[in-house]
């Protein structure tokens, strides 16, 4: 591991590259990415299609192993020889929450069972999982919809249930892939406010891939990618305002 | 939380319809096995009912059931005089196409000597043969009733049904009927009057024979069967077959072709069932591949994914098998052949169905465990 380590960072990537294929077919999806993400902040990953946003999200989410470079998550270096596939799965279960562009709720489980399933996978008893799922759904104001199947929920409700599922195991980091894409601007704003609240109340970092410029001001920092490279990182006006307010 | 049950409940109609189709298919498998076992049991009923220690038959033949055997009638007296022999009985067998009550009647007629070995056992109604001629004991599967009169032989002599048995059929499923040996020989060998006249005109005597097909031998307690058999076979015109050998001949020669035919059908049906289960499970798995990718992404172990698929395959196979058995049990009496459902056969079939389900789900399991969790993130 290189000697440049930010001990305060929840997620730290150093010189991370990822390519697919070899020789003539080689595609460099990520090149020399170095970045840190801290607890409690909401970070945006933006860039045109094919810029490497989703690949970067997959690397941070312990799904795709980088070709070179290293990553540290909550103090542990990920993707060295010690980590087996099942360890990465365990890491995802316990430390990472995922929110998808489409809610990706399991269609054969009720809203409540979708949240319970993640808890039970982590070892919670059925009763404990039921209780925590009910609490989370109440927290996200969809408690009354717990017994409904995903197909019976509106887009906004389904996305809230998906957020509840992402929060179930109190993850350190939540990765959101275009979470507001299927929502109108009003509902998109509500979801982003919710994510902000979660970051603040649960001290979780939120990394959000988006094309939606209307929500850029909801991020503390924005990382812009182009052709697999980090071309800029900026602190948003909203973040500066929040900091001034805090000071 | 059992994901397989939840998913099946969500797709209940699809599951039920598939289960019904599979149940019908597996029901045919159960029926085929039952028909074979029924035929085997039928074929062995007659040899077992007679239950002699030895069958004395024509040399170089496989007894009276696997191929024709003709020996002189005095063989019975000859064998009776061998030390150690307790009882004997001369028998004949023939298949007849007759008619009774205005309906065609196919029977397997056994001639025997009343009071000696070879008669009907376990009558359920009426009594045994009490006269030398024109009485008959028949199995109730023939459709005959006590008092019915059945015309048999070249003269159309009427035989009155005086007793009934149950479940006595031959390897072809034809009901068995018993008459006296003399009547059976007359039915078999007597020729019609026009042919008698023609034979006499030609200077030949009409065909008359007193041959029998076999002699049943019961030994005294403690007498070695092999020793008596050896003694009988010293007469070069006779051969002695033990009860076990007779059963082996029936199994190996009489219904071996049926065994092969049904075996081939079973193999085809089992392969078709396996393909159908594999196809259904693969389709069900492909339909929820995004859900599986999501489960993997959120950290579900492989055993959760494998459990989901294998449990569904087993649920489908087991419920289909259960339905197949239930359908067979309900409708087996309507089959023209006896369908014998034995617990051991059902247990073996059940094990085969379980193995098929496991094999059939292998393709789906492979597709599911190798799916990239990142697929869940794809828009």
**Domains in chain A and their CATH numbers?**
11-246 (3.40.50.300)
Percent with pLDDT over 70 in chain A: 88
Closest CA to B148 of B131, B126, B169, B124: B126
Q: What is the pLDDT of residue A166?
A: 87
CA separation, residue B194 to residues B32, B96, B154, B202, B206 (Å): 47, 21, 10, 12, 11
Q: What is the pLDDT of residue B191?
A: 76
A chain contacts of residue B296, beta-carbon cutoff 8 Å: 89
E-assigned strand segments in chain B: 54-57, 85-100, 103-112, 125-126, 135-139, 149-152, 157-165, 176-180, 214-219, 239-242
In contact, A59 and A135? CB cutoff 8 Å: no
Q: What is the pLDDT of residue B325?
A: 94
Nearest CA in chain A to B376: A104
B chain contacts of residue A91, beta-carbon cutoff 8 Å: 299
Q: Which residues of B310-342 are buried (b: 16+ CB within 10 A; e: fewer)?
A: bbbbbbbbbbbbebbbebbeeebeeeebbbbbe
Q: What is the pLDDT of residue A243?
A: 52
Nearest CA in chain B to A121: B300
Q: Residue A100 and residue B296: Cβ atoms within 8 Å?
A: no
Nearest CA in chain A to B9: A108
Q: Residue B379 and residue A165: Cβ atoms within 8 Å?
A: no
Q: What residues form DSSP beta bridges with B169?
A: B175
Q: SS3 letters for B359-370?
A: HHCHHHHHHHHC
Average pLDDT over residues A115-120: 92
Q: How confident is the model at residue A1 (pLDDT cuts 50, 70, 90)?
A: very low
Please give the mean pLDDT across all residues of chain A.
Answer: 83
CA distance A183 to chain B (A): 14
B244 touches chain A (CB under 8 A): no
pTM of the model: 0.73
Mutation target to probe the A interface, by most A beta carbons within 10 A, among B293, B376, B377, B379 is B377
B chain contacts of residue A100, beta-carbon cutoff 8 Å: 294, 376-377
B7 touches chain A (CB under 8 A): yes
A chain contacts of residue B303, beta-carbon cutoff 8 Å: none
Cα A116 off chain centre by: 19
Q: What is the pLDDT of residue A127?
A: 92
Average pLDDT over residues A116-145: 89
Q: Residue A92 and residue B299: Cβ atoms within 8 Å?
A: yes
- Give the strand pairing for A68-73 and A76-78: antiparallel
Number of Cβ within a 10 Å radius of residue A66: 22
CA distance A3 to chain B (A): 31
* CA–CA dist B82, B84 (Å, integer): 6
Instruction: Please give the structure tokens belonging to residue A24.
Output: 């003539």
A chain contacts of residue B291, beta-carbon cutoff 8 Å: 104, 106-108
- Between positions 54 and 83 of B, the ones with CB within 8 A of A are none
Q: Residue A64 and residue B374: Cβ atoms within 8 Å?
A: yes
Q: What is the pLDDT of residue A247?
A: 47
* CA–CA dist B145, B123 (Å, integer): 13
A chain contacts of residue B9, beta-carbon cutoff 8 Å: 108
Q: What is the pLDDT of residue A236?
A: 59
Residues of chain B scoring pLDDT < 70:
206-208, 378-379
A chain contacts of residue B311, beta-carbon cutoff 8 Å: none
Q: Residue B3 and residue A104: Cβ atoms within 8 Å?
A: no
* CA–CA dist A69, A81 (Å, integer): 13
The per-residue pLDDT for range A184-242, each reduced to its tens digit, is: 777 778 778 888 888 888 788 999 988 888 888 888 899 999 888 988 766 655 555 55
Percent with pLDDT over 90 in chain A: 17
Average pLDDT over residues A61-81: 82
Average pLDDT over residues A99-116: 89
CA distance B170 to chain A (A): 55
* CA–CA dist A160, A76 (Å, integer): 30
Nearest CA in chain B to A125: B1
Average pLDDT over residues A56-63: 88
Residue A4 has pLDDT above 50, yes or no: yes
Q: Which of A90, A100, A108 sits opposite B376 (nearest CB)?
A: A100
A chain contacts of residue B288, beta-carbon cutoff 8 Å: 107-108
B3 touches chain A (CB under 8 A): yes
CA atoms within 13 A on the CB side of A168: 33
CA separation, residue B379 to residues A8, A155, A195, A215, B306 (Å): 33, 15, 20, 19, 25
Q: Which of B11, B291, B301 sits opposite A106 (nearest CB)?
A: B291
Q: Residue B1 and residue A126: Cβ atoms within 8 Å?
A: yes
């Amino acid at each position: 591991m290189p000697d440049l380590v930010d001990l305060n960072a929840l997620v730290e990537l150093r010189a991370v590259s990822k390519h697919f294929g070899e020789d003539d077919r080689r595609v460099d999806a990520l090149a020399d990415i170095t970045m840190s993400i801290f607890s409690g902040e909401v970070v945006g990953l933006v860039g045109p299609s094919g810029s490497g946003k989703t690949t970067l999200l997959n690397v941070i989410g312990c799904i795709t192993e980088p070709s070179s470079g290293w990553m540290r998550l909550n103090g542990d270096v990920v993707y060295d020889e010690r980590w087996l596939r099942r360890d990465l799965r365990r890491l995802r279960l316990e430390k990472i929450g995922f929110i998808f562009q489409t809610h990706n709720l399991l269609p054969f489980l009720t809203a409540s069972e979708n949240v319970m399933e993640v808890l039970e996978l982590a070892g919670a008893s059925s009763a404990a999982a039921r209780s925590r799922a009910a609490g989370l759904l109440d927290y996200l104001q969809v408690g009354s919809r717990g017994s409904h199947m995903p197909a019976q929920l509106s887009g906004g409700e389904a996305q809230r249930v998906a957020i509840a599922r992402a929060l179930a195991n109190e993850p350190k980091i939540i990765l959101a892939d275009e979470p507001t894409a299927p929502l109108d601007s009003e509902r998109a704003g509500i979801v982003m406010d919710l994510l902000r609240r979660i970051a603040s109340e649960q001290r979780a970092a939120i990394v959000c891939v988006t094309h939606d410029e209307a929500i850029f001001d909801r991020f503390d920092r924005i990382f812009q990618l182009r052709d697999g490279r980090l071309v800029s990182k900026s602190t948003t006006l909203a973040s500066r305002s929040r900091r001034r307010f805090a000071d | 939380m059992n994901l397989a049950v939840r998913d099946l409940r969500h797709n209940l109609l699809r599951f039920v319809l598939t289960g019904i189709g599979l149940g019908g298919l597996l029901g045919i498998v159960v029926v085929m096995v039952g028909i074979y076992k029924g035929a085997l049991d039928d074929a062995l009923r007659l040899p077992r009912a007679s239950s002699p220690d030895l069958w004395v038959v024509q040399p170089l033949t496989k007894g009276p059931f696997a191929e024709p055997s003709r020996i002189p009638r005095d063989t019975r007296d000859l064998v009776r005089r061998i030390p150690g022999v307790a009882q004997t009985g001369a028998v004949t067998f023939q298949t007849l196409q007759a008619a009774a009550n205005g309906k065609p009647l196919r029977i397997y007629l056994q001639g025997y000597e009343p009071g000696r070995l070879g008669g009907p056992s376990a009558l359920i109604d009426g009594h045994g043969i009490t006269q030398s001629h024109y009485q008959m004991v028949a199995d109730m599967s023939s459709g005959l009733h006590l008092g019915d009169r059945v015309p048999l032989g070249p003269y159309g002599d009427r035989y009155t049904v005086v007793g009934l048995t149950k479940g006595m059929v031959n390897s072809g499923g034809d009901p068995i009927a018993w008459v006296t040996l003399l009547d059976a020989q007359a039915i078999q060998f007597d020729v019609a009057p026009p042919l008698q006249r023609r034979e006499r005109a030609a200077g030949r005597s009409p065909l008359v024979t007193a041959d029998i097909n076999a002699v049943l031998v019961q030994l005294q307690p403690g007498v070695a069967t092999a020793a008596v058999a050896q003694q009988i076979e010293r007469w070069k015109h006779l051969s002695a077959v033990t009860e076990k050998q007779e059963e082996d001949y029936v199994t190996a020669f009489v219904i071996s072709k049926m065994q092969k035919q049904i075996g081939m059908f079973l193999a085809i049906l089992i392969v078709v069932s396996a393909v159908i289960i594999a196809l259904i499970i693969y389709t069900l798995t492909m339909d929820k591949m995004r859900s599986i990718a999501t489960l993997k992404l959120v950290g579900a172990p492989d055993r959760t994914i494998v459990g989901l698929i294998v449990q569904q395959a087993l649920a489908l196979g087991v419920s289909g098998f259960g339905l197949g058995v239930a359908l067979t049990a309900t409708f087996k009496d309507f089959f023209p052949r006896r369908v014998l459902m034995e617990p051991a056969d059902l247990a073996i079939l059940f094990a085969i169905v379980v193995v098929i389900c496991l094999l059939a789900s292998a393709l789906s399991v492979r597709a599911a465990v190798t799916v990239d969790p990142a697929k869940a993130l794809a828009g």
